[in-house]
Amino acid sequence: MNILIMGAPGTGKGTMSQLIKEHYDVVHVSTGDMLRQAVENKTTLGLKVQEYMSAGALVPDEVIHNIILERLAKDDIKKGFLFDGYPRTVKQAIDLDEILGKLNMNIDCIINLDVDVEILKERITGRRTCRNCKEIYHIKNMPPKVEGTCDLCGGELITREDDTLEALMKRLDEYYASTKPVIDYYEKTGLVHNIDGGRDANEVFEDIKAILGGK
Ligand SMILES: [Zn+2]
């Protein structure tokens, strides 16, 4: 089964991807992770990516295209894939269609997590991260035993730069401008399932299982 999972920042894509991957034994393909890995391993590609990142530039579509093409050509992908955070733009969606066509593959299901913006604000701005071990908490949903202190290592809990209201609004603007049109692009395929991601993770995953079926 080949799946795409989409949704604005904070809608729970990461959590759901993890659950889907464990339950359905598909390969989780995250372009962000692949880029980071290439940089860490200092591959030819990684060095190129590093250049763009150091210059504060977006990694160009051709580079992403090649990474995806290489990944999908590997053998393990035959058991099915789950894309998380890609395609991010309509151009990338068209690219992906082209790649899948070349490899004689299809997308079977697109899950779009929809969450009310007020809930997104609460989720993101309430997030606290341990400065030391990076464990993540939430002031309401998953508070530490002692306010401002990590349960695991006693480190100080901080609000990451990405988790401020300003940063969230900027990412949401980008999302609505670039990624929302991707969902419109896929609507015509009849594969898009809109799911209310504003609920408890278990409830959301039950809905996803009902759609994906099987086990
Ligand atoms: Zn800690």
Catalytic, 88? Answer: yes
CA atoms of 165 and 30, how far apart (whole Å): 25
From the CA of 65, how far away is ligand 1's center (Å)?
37
Average pLDDT over all residues of the chain? 92
Residue 156 has what pLDDT? 97
Q: 96, 68 in Cβ contact below 8 A?
A: yes
Residue 146 lies in a domain: no
Q: Spell 82-99 as b/e; 16+ CB within 10 A means b.
A: bbbbbbbbeebbebbbeb
pLDDT band, residue 199 (cuts 50/70/90): very high
Catalytic residue, chosen from 71, 91, 121, 160, is: 160
C-alpha angle 118-121-122 in degrees, rounded to nearest 5: 90
Catalytic, 134? Answer: no
Average pLDDT over residues 163-178: 91
pLDDT tens digits, 150-168: 999 999 999 998 899 999 9
Residue 157 lies in a domain: no
From the CA of 131, how far away is ligand 1's center (Å)?
7
Q: Spell 107-132 as b/e; 16+ CB within 10 A means b.
A: bebbbbbebeeeebebbbbbbbbbee
pLDDT tens digits, 29-62: 988 888 888 899 998 888 988 998 888 778 888 8
The proportion of the chain whose per-residue pLDDT surpasses 70, expressed as a percent, equals 100
From the CA of 141, how far away is ligand 1's center (Å)?
17
Catalytic, 127? Answer: yes
Domain count along the chain:
1
How many helices (H) and strands (E) the chain has is answered by 9, 8
Residue 139 lies in a domain: no
Residue 148 lies in a domain: no
Residue 150 makes CB contacts below 8 A (sequence gap 6+) with 130, 132, 133, 135, 137, 144, 156, 157
* Crossing angle for the helix pair 117-125 and 165-174, to the nearest 10 degrees: 130
The proportion of the chain whose per-residue pLDDT surpasses 90, expressed as a percent, equals 69
Residue 215 has what pLDDT? 59
Residue 27 lies in a domain: yes
From the CA of 212, how far away is ligand 1's center (Å)?
36
Residue 141 lies in a domain: no
Residue 155 lies in a domain: no
Q: Which residue has the tokens 């068209």?
A: 94
Catalytic residue, chosen from 36, 171, 180, 199, is: 171
CA atoms of 63 and 109, how far apart (whole Å): 25
From the CA of 149, how far away is ligand 1's center (Å)?
8
Residue 90 lies in a domain: yes
CA atoms of 114 and 97, how far apart (whole Å): 24
Which has the minimum average pLDDT: 24-28, 51-55, 82-86?
51-55
What is the domain range of residue 177?
3-115+169-212
Instruction: Name the residue among 83, 74, 66, 73 with its Cα closest to residue 26.
Output: 83
CATH number at residue 198: 3.40.50.300
Residue 19 has pLDDT above 90, yes or no: yes
Q: 29, 82 in Cβ contact below 8 A?
A: yes
